[in-house]
Amino acid sequence: MTYSTRYQNLNPSQRRAVDTIEGPVMVVAGPGTGKTELLSVRVASILERTDTAPENILCLTFTDAGAQAMRQRLIGIIGADAYRVAIHTFHSFAADVIANNREYFYRGAEFELADDLKRFELIRSILSDLPHNDPLSAVHDGEFTEQGRITNSIIDLKKSGLAGDELRAIIDQTQIGLDQTERLIVPVLNDRVSKAVLDKIAQILPELATIANQYEPLYQSTPITTVVYHSLLEAYNDAVADNNSTKPISVWKSKWLTNYNGNKVLSPRKSLTKLSSLAHIYEEYLNRMDKAGWYDFDDMILQLVHAIEVNEDLRLNLQEKYLYLMVDEFQDTNLAQMRIIHSLTDNPVNEGRPNVMVVGDDDQAIYSFQGADVSNILNFRHHFPAVEMIPLIDNYRSRTGILDKARSIITRAEERLESQVEELDKTLTAHRDGEAIVHVAKAESYTCERRWLVDTIKQKLTNGTPAENIVVLARKHPHLIELLPHFANAGIPVHYEKQNDALESETVRTVELVARVVTAIARSDFDTANSLMPELLAHPAWGLEPKSIWQLSIDAYKSRQLWLEVMATNSDLQSIHEWLINLAQASLREPLEPMIDMIIGQPKEDDTETHRPFYDYYFGGNKLATNPADYIDHLSSLQAIRAKLREHIDITDPTLSDMLSFIEDSRRIKAKVSTSRTVGGDGQGAVHLMTAHAAKGLEYPTVFVVHVNDNVWGSTVKPNNNRLTYPVNLPIGPAGDSFDERLRLFYVAITRAEHELYLSFSETGDNGKSILPASFLVDHEPDHHETTTDTETALETAEVAWYYPLVQPSVDLATILQSSLEKYKLSVTHLNNFIDIQYAGPQTFLTNNLLRFPAAKSAASAYGSAVHRALQNAHVHLTIHGEKKPLEDVLHDYETQLRQERLSDHDFNYYLQKGTEHLSRFIEQRYDTFSADQKSELDFSYQDVHVGEAHITGKIDIAEIDQPNRSIHVVDYKTGKAPTDNRAALKLHKYKQQLLFYKLLVENSRDYRNYTVDSGCLTFVEATDSGEIIDWQIPYTAEDLEHVANLIQAVWRRIINLDLPDTSHYPKTLKGVKQFEQDLIDGTI
């Protein structure tokens, strides 16, 4: 559909928002009012009406799904140009800016992601250094009592964008402000409130106003003097309006005045002592993280906030690059993200009218637990006084009855934009014909409620309702898990996000058990090993009959020997004994990752090992074909635990014992190693189960919302006391426990419904205690009452809940990999692996690149990574400092990087010597070619590059950019020697395709599409025997480029469709590879 047609289909309010392309605009978009269409058409309108290029438009949203939906909608309007519009989540935007402007971040150094356990240990070390009388240093049973709250508060501070010195400045300003205001207020309100107090308040209000006007907001924080003055003024005005009633003043006093250290003070003062200590801890945390070379997930946003504010060049470059800014789901921004928006738009040339449009709805602000601050949308007019506010109230999703129910509930919330802006009316008008069905069901118990839910849905399915048209929403994920056995018992397929903890998975528990046995044997602790042997031998992977284990126990007892000793002479168990002894011996010399490979028994090239019980049990034979769901679960757990171990363990030669310590410590602090997988494929033919948060942005004909009880959704939910208290002028903590937030979440849930809405609550919980319906339902009389009158039925339902196994739907590999394939990007490494029928090929590609079977990195690969990072750091150092890094520092970087690869002592020493020799020679010969203008590690991960339909990605080692001539020269470092043997032809073929891939990558990217890659070369870091550094300039033709473009698209289609051909009939030569490539392009294989 063309732009003009889409534009004509907009309603007047949408069209007004699309037409207003200059200056600040705030669109208040209620649910189902077409905001995604509005955003997409507005992008097209800017391109149609101005000479703005697509890459000069920045769209920010909050989820990958939201960004993808906007991109797909835009493709339908403007075609391929949609890939050139910068559509990002805030985190992907930060990652993109950091990746391509390394000189402004982390001093150009390589930082590593710190996991939960590392951060826990770091904070614990800070608390250990505090004085014993510090308010946050209390210890109970060996644990710091405030550590959990401190950790969460640090997360809050980062999401607010506050640095340590900024927090201290706010605390100091608050301290001084409290001193000034308490001096006036406490004497007036210290005694009982009487009518005479009103006159005294009237006398101090002018002076309080004067004090309030002395202070400016600091870093989005309103001065405490302003907050105190306006709150007391409001209470005073309410008292006067109510015939000089003292009640408003009494209410104000109970909220604001408290006893502290024997004195009457304003209540925010109580939080300042701990907050001051937190400021010290926070600063120390940031310093120690920086010193350790660590970062966490929220650091990307925090780093971007401060880099843009501090570095004028970076800020101006981004402002010049992005001429139009649009922010979706603006109500979900946190203070740090608001600072980014401000930096991107704060330029004098805008004269207070930057081209920024935000789209959001305060009634759908549900992510405060992630740091989102609804005040951003409430205060947008303060930040941008010239803003034009455009409400969207035409709802195209739900029928009138559903919208009426939603309106009656959301208007109970106190903090709403509609109550602050007199002219704003957010009453939604339904444009979907037909009468809505709205049911409220009351059940005698949770058990009855679950049975009613499943029976009602089963009846709908029997009557012809497609399963995928039905969704069940709950506030918490565990409420959904409780429903799974009931749906399974009824034979109703479901679609949901399965969440697991890898630490508790069967495969990781197995590796842990073997590791405990092996490490005990290695340290000659045979009693411990003996105690673990029964559990190990009982594992079904061995295929041992119970009587064999019983007989072993009897023989060991009779002979007064250890089980291991008896196993050594037992022909049926001797192979297991030898396997364990060999593992124990290997554990004394081998690093951790090879040991995990040995325990699992993953086959390797030229591997003659035949005894690999656990690999055969979990992954061998046709396990992938017959039970892909279990295969993927086992594989995901191994991937997750190995990734976490790589993140966490800093020592250069970690062992199995280090892995066991990591597992024990993680369980101690209740840290999970999370994995998730979508069960139910694309959801067709299955009832959808999800949390209300996950349902944001979706819609269904029929919606069920369960457990609508006051202790779940209403006003009696127990608050989480998991953070320190902040003063009222520092709104950085999540408000997720507030009644307003739960109302908003419930509003989001019920406005997903198109035709039918079912709400259910129970009178008693699973513990038998009485529970109330949510307070906002008291005016809604239930039209159904589910009771248990049949004892047999009640018993059956209870048995299902307790004993019925969770039956996974039968699914194929394509269904399991669907979510991964939807986000898949093809790299040149993946392309080469797919077509490399000599060493890899499609089937190996499936195992290694799609399923990502975990394995230890080879020593040669670790060497290559360390060389690349050392050279990259040298380039970045030159860019930042304008001078070359000394050779000894480059070599030190290399040694540091090599140590992080955790090689064996032999491999480390060998590659340290090799790398030092070759890097020294390379630097000596080529350092003069390094330039501060070169871009190193140019990252295209967030550039949305497409070649035809294929989505591709990659990083380029060095890009020499000639801006006047709009050309780029690409350099790719190779850490080996230039090949000269008979394999050179095949390598040359791969290398040529690699450079052509990079040419297509650059010239189809968003930021460099107007550049031409006019040349490229491979530079071999390792010199020839004669001491020469070789550059390969590989010539190519237009036909070569077309061939690679076609090959990329052919391989992409095969991967996306999981069409992985058998290549065994091709000769493993260059001729065979070329024939395979051509057959892929021609579609003849």
pLDDT in tens, 765-802: 878 889 999 999 877 788 877 776 555 455 455 445 44
* 335 neighbors 372 (Cβ within 8 angstroms): no
Distance CA 336, CA 342 (A): 10
% of the chain beyond a pLDDT of 70: 94
611 and 685 in a single domain? The answer is: no
CATH number at 486 reads: 3.40.50.300
Residue 1027 lies in a domain: yes
- In the DSSP assignment, the letter for residue 218 is B
Q: Can you tell me the mean pLDDT for 378-392?
A: 88
Residue keyed to tokens 């945390």: 285
At 809, the pLDDT band (50, 70, 90 cuts) reads: very low
Residue 740 lies in a domain: yes
Would residue 543 be called left, alpha or beta, if left means φ above 0 and alpha means ψ between -120 and 50 degrees? left
pLDDT at 644: 84
Start-to-end C-alpha separation, the chain: 36
pLDDT at 981: 61
Q: Of 407, 463, 462, 466, give the one whose Cα is nearest residue 438.
A: 407
Residue 819 lies in a domain: no
Residue 871 lies in a domain: yes
Phi, psi of 699 (to 5 degrees): -150, 150
79-93 residue pLDDT tens: 888 889 999 999 899
Name residue 147's beta-bridge partners: none
With the C-alpha atoms ordered 1056, 1057, 1058, 1060, is the resulting torsion angle positive or negative? negative
Residue keyed to tokens 């990002």: 88
pLDDT at 699: 95
Q: Of 433, 469, 429, 325, give the one whose Cα is nearest residue 33.
A: 429
Distance CA 268, CA 263 (A): 14
Distance CA 1016, CA 999 (A): 8
283 and 169 in a single domain? The answer is: yes
pLDDT at 108: 56
Q: At what angle do helices 506-522 and 628-648 cross, to 10 degrees?
A: 50
pLDDT at 1017: 92
Tokens of 654: 């970690």
591-618 residue pLDDT tens: 888 899 899 987 765 555 556 789 989 9
Residue keyed to tokens 């309007």: 77
Supply the DSSP string of 622-687, one letter for each residue: THHHH-HHHHHHHHHHHHHHHHHHHHH--SSS--HHHHHHHHHHHHHTT---EEEEEETTT-TTSE
Tokens of 306: 């401060």
Distance CA 993, CA 831 (A): 9
pLDDT at 778: 79
Tokens of 808: 């996974």
604 and 736 in a single domain? The answer is: no
pLDDT at 811: 54
Supply the DSSP string of 19-38, one letter for each residue: H--SS-EEEEE-TTS-HHHH
pLDDT at 611: 62
Q: Which residues contact 197 (CB under 8 A, 6 or more apart)?
A: 188, 189, 246, 249
Q: Which residue has the higher pLDDT, 450 or 669?
A: 450
At 905, the pLDDT band (50, 70, 90 cuts) reads: confident
Tokens of 839: 């060493």
Distance CA 24, CA 355 (A): 6
Residue 583 lies in a domain: yes
Distance CA 1063, CA 842 (A): 8
Residue keyed to tokens 């800020």: 315
Q: Does the pLDDT of residue 406 top 70, yes or no?
A: yes
Q: Of 1080, 983, 970, give the one whose Cα is nearest residue 1031.
A: 970
pLDDT at 808: 45
Distance CA 353, CA 337 (A): 19
Q: Can you tell me the mean pLDDT for 634-662?
A: 84
Would residue 621 be called left, alpha or beta, if left means φ above 0 and alpha means ψ between -120 and 50 degrees? left
277 and 347 in a single domain? The answer is: no
Q: Can you tell me the mean pLDDT for 197-218?
A: 92
Residue 830 lies in a domain: yes
Q: Which helix (H) or strand (E) holds 204?
A: helix 195-212
478 and 525 in a single domain? The answer is: no
User: Which pairs count as long-range contacts for 201-208, CB under 8 Å and 24+ apart, including other chains?
Assistant: 201/232, 201/236, 201/249, 202/236, 205/229, 205/232, 205/233, 205/236, 208/181, 208/184, 208/232, 208/233
908-937 residue pLDDT tens: 999 999 999 999 999 999 999 999 889 998
Name residue 760's beta-bridge partners: 441
Q: Choose one of 772, 803, 834: the last residue of a domain.
A: 803
851 and 791 in a single domain? The answer is: no
Distance CA 944, CA 823 (A): 11
Tokens of 92: 């992907």
Number of domains in the chain: 5
Q: Choose one of 260, 292, 324: the last residue of a domain.
A: 292
Q: At what angle do helices 312-321 and 299-310 cross, to 10 degrees?
A: 100
Q: Of 617, 993, 1005, give the one whose Cα is nearest residue 828.
A: 993
Tokens of 832: 């080469």
723 and 838 in a single domain? The answer is: no
Distance CA 810, CA 828 (A): 34
769 and 788 in a single domain? The answer is: yes
Q: Does the pLDDT of residue 804 top 50, yes or no?
A: no
Q: Can you tell me the mean pLDDT for 872-894?
A: 92
pLDDT at 605: 53
1058 by Cβ neighbours in 10 Å (0-12 / 13-18 / 19+) ranks as middle
At 999, the pLDDT band (50, 70, 90 cuts) reads: very high
At 106, the pLDDT band (50, 70, 90 cuts) reads: low
- In the DSSP assignment, the letter for residue 396 is S
Tokens of 966: 């709009």
* 995 neighbors 958 (Cβ within 8 angstroms): no
CATH number at 621 reads: 1.10.486.10
498-537 residue pLDDT tens: 888 899 999 999 999 999 999 999 999 888 899 999 999 9
Q: Does the pLDDT of residue 671 top 50, yes or no?
A: yes
Q: Tell me the Cα Rg of the chain.
A: 32
Q: Which amino acid is at 498?
A: K
> Is the model's pTM score more than 0.85?
no
Lowest-pLDDT choice from 96-105, 471-480, 507-516: 96-105
Highest average pLDDT, of 166-180, 189-203, 414-428, 679-693, comes from 166-180
Residue keyed to tokens 């001797």: 574
At 449, the pLDDT band (50, 70, 90 cuts) reads: very high
% of the chain beyond a pLDDT of 90: 54
Find how far residue 195's CA is from the centre of its chain: 56
633 and 769 in a single domain? The answer is: no
Tokens of 82: 């949609």
- CA distances in angstroms from 228 to 185, 206, 219, 255, 945, listed in the order given: 10, 13, 19, 11, 53
pLDDT at 288: 92
At 18, the pLDDT band (50, 70, 90 cuts) reads: very high
99 and 45 in a single domain? The answer is: yes
Lowest-pLDDT choice from 147-161, 558-572, 615-629: 615-629
Show the domain range for 153: 113-292
Residue keyed to tokens 């769209």: 59
pLDDT at 49: 93
Mean pLDDT of the chain: 88
Q: Choose one of 737, 770, 803: the last residue of a domain.
A: 803
Q: Can you tell me the mean pLDDT for 314-335?
A: 92
How would you classify the pairing of strands 324-327 and 955-962?
Answer: unpaired
Q: Can you tell me the mean pLDDT for 816-825?
A: 83
Residue 416 lies in a domain: no
Find how far residue 25's CA is from the centre of its chain: 29
Residue 409 lies in a domain: no
pLDDT at 831: 95
Residue keyed to tokens 């692996």: 833
687 and 724 in a single domain? The answer is: yes
CATH number at 968 reads: 3.90.320.10
| DSSP SS3 for 112 | strand
271 and 380 in a single domain? The answer is: no
Q: Of 18, 37, 86, give the one whose Cα is nearest residue 57.
A: 86
Distance CA 149, CA 365 (A): 24
pLDDT at 460: 96
